[in-house]
Structure 1
């Protein structure tokens, strides 16, 4: 949860829509009636669960009778929303009420439900949020779904990595292998000027020239991915695991993967198996970013050939000046520090902009990227400094 609720907002969420006019007044305009977008989303998530009180029907019947309006939520959608919107203690209460009181157990206890669902990233995120509630049979089926989605992500990213890290054009040497992206227009023009027809004002191309490609021979680099495993960062956790798996297959690159909340877990040994890695991740908890960054700093062997990629919303739970100091020290020793507020296919982050600005002031680069964009950024850094 990124914003602190005001007392009236808390009472509004507790009492529901029936108390809206009494607490928020009737002057609010628009769909939220004066509520912020985040508070409105929280209200909808609570209504999805507690609004079924006394209805006397199970979730599947409720969902079959629901319309297709924007407020309708699937089970995975609801799980992912509450893990983004609420603090950990509230999430635990909501999950307990959902399973024990309202018997919303389809995703976590019914194998037949997992058999008919379509693998997707939304489902993968919901599995990661609720795997601690699953019995062994359901967990085994969930693992198969995770594997299918991860394989799809790896195949897509592998193509982008291959393009980013493929050989560069060698403009000093030409090849007979014709490829549009290797076409040397300037050299082709010079080589065929003698075939220019002044009467028809046309240049006849008798021979097109194409640049050859030379493989990049990179000196060894360290790339350290430092991933915030708070509930709101689940999409970035997934793509970080996939990215680490793909990068670890590239020659000349030593890839590390760290996950953190208030503690740091070194997942480097599991980076080649992102499915197993994701099933081990424990989402939620506090945030101690500086501790994770100091752990990363201790792994660096050659500072000027190290890149530390911090993937976090930058909401620091510990003293902020310590995080700023460790980033400043990394930059001063010649290491590159890239802070990503999101690493996923949407690259639309919600983060502490003030903290991000402080990190930029001491030399870090901050942004949001898709995994493919990160691959391109890394390839460009390695090429300029290789």
Structure 2
């Protein structure tokens, strides 16, 4: 390893170790850019020492800026100094782990944050610490995140739910998923070029899609206990997308040990998220029994339970309710909770019992949930 590589390696270790690098790397010289990195990291991670009852101590170096580093300056510096993925992680730790008061209480600082689903969930969990001005800034962040997710998910739901291919009716809409290769080959055989040994396609053919006009009722029964924020967020967004479709009626019910019927807000995921109150125990049986009142056409109803299936109420009542719905030919779906890495986190034994009573249970991302629901509607 060259001396230059040795120096770069030592500098990286000094930045990684922070204050604990003083003794081992005291002679390491940092350039101007590295000093900015160190100062930006210290601004946040010195709070870890304070949390553990250790004094953060004085900075090792004089200021590189004319003014003291404030939360807003720190955000701007971090955004410039680090790659986007790294910046988003640092931003999340500032809000979620260290609960940086300057970010939570200052509207300008909040509006400087990068809107991400992780940030939205962290801010929603700390709504009680906001003043009137910062609550509006949080609402704007939530709205931006929701709009981003809706833009990504809505085409999946529209395509999956609104129709299936009809090989007997033709479409003028060019769409690779609707391409009718059999008829295209059959109708263009007369254009086969013997010299080139190729089939010349002069007119491609596409299948139309059948629009479903018989209405469906979709009941989303969403567990909002414990650490279910991810599930609540995506459930609210999926509910709003389904509510926008012409042949779907949506009911949205959130529960822990109490019931929050937000069906009247199903079209507005931002308001749903600002209304949701995470915490408390779990009484799934009570929530399922409540939702039964919305099932007036069982064969045209999809009941979706979104939960970790860790029942705190009566297991017997829950299983009886699911069996009762199944006997009425209600389409029963159980969507298991996922963690931050999209790994399933749920009570598998309870999921198995629900499955034995007629509920199909799966751990799916929202994109795959759209396709699953479409298959049920066939």
Matched, 1:322 2:326: no
Equivalents in 1 of 2:116, 2:366: separation in Å?
17
Q: Which one of the candidate residues 357, 363, 367 is aligned to 1:362? A: 357
How far 1:353 moved relative to its partner? 0.9
* Match in the other structure for 1:220: 215
* Match in the other structure for 1:51: 52
* Match in the other structure for 2:233: 238
How far 1:147 moved relative to its partner? 1.1
Structure 1 or 2, whichever has the larger Rg, is 2
CA contact (8 A) 2:184 2:201 kept: no
- CA RMSD between the two structures: 3.4
Matched, 1:264 2:265: no
Equivalents in 2 of 1:135, 1:119: separation in Å?
19
Q: Which one of the candidate residues 157, 162, 184 is aligned to 1:161? A: 157
* 1:51-81 CA-partner distances (Å, limit 9, x unpaired): 1454479x989x99xxx9x9xx857448767
CA contact (8 A) 2:91 2:113 kept: no
CA contact (8 A) 1:315 1:352 kept: yes
* Match in the other structure for 1:250: 245
* Match in the other structure for 2:295: 300
* Match in the other structure for 1:91: none
CA contact (8 A) 2:167 2:207 kept: yes
CA contact (8 A) 2:150 2:241 kept: yes
Equivalents in 1 of 2:289, 2:312: separation in Å?
15
* 1:1-42 CA-partner distances (Å, limit 9, x unpaired): xxxxxxxxxxxxxxxxxxxxxxxxxxxxxxxxxxxxxxxxxx
How far 1:342 moved relative to its partner? 2.5
How far 1:154 moved relative to its partner? 1.4
* Match in the other structure for 2:39: none
* 1:316-346 CA-partner distances (Å, limit 9, x unpaired): 1112122111111111110011111136885
- CA 1:302–1:179: 2 relative to 1, 3 Å: closer
Matched, 1:134 2:135: no
CA contact (8 A) 1:345 1:371 kept: no
Equivalents in 2 of 1:175, 1:286: separation in Å?
52
- CA 1:80–1:297: 2 relative to 1, 3 Å: farther
TM-score (norm 1): 0.72
TM-score (norm 2): 0.73
Q: Which one of the candidate residues 166, 172, 179 is aligned to 2:168? A: 172
Secondary structure of residue in 2 paired with 1:315? coil
* Match in the other structure for 1:145: 141
- CA 1:128–1:203: 2 relative to 1, 3 Å: same
Mapping 1:13-52, distance limit 5 Å:
50-52=51-53
* Match in the other structure for 1:92: none
* 1:75-112 CA-partner distances (Å, limit 9, x unpaired): 7448767xxxxxxxxxxxxxxxx88xxxx523432334
* 1:293-335 CA-partner distances (Å, limit 9, x unpaired): 1111121111111111111111111121221111111111100
